[in-house]
Amino acid sequence: MSKYEIMILVNPTSTEESVKELLFSVLDEKNTKFERLERTELAYPINKLTRASYYLILTKAQPESIKELTRKFNIDKTILRSLIINLNSEKGLKPRKQKRFTKRIFENRRPSDKSENKETTEERKTESRKTFVKKTEQVEK
């Protein structure tokens, strides 16, 4: 048997007894902790509803019974959303370590002076003008 945490959003017009009846038709009451959290405003409408009731269920159950519970959640129209988390499989996950930013040192780079860059660009411009003039002279001949 695995531990599960189940969070469901229920239509606010449905009663707590109807939700318990749906849950305990599949789950065992001894191994289940049922808690009604609150009735809140939703961030966006679900089935044209802007409010919902939240329920948190902690249980120990077989995977087959969780499949059956999911099937019943999908059939029942009062259950708006559900989330089922297997706590046994989630326990072993560790957060990834963030890599620290390290300053890179480029040793192979040429030192760049703005004056040198200007000179080289001027030299390139004059060279390209010379080649252009040579080509035009060849075409005229």
pLDDT digits (tens, 9 = 90+) for 23-62: 999 998 899 999 998 878 899 999 999 999 999 999 999 9
CA distances from 97 to 20, 71, 92, 94, 125 (A): 41, 38, 15, 9, 52
Predicted model pTM:
0.61
User: What backbone phi and psi angles, to 5 degrees, belong to 128?
Assistant: -65, -35
pLDDT tens column, 92-140: 555 556 566 666 666 666 655 555 555 566 777 777 666 666 666 666 6
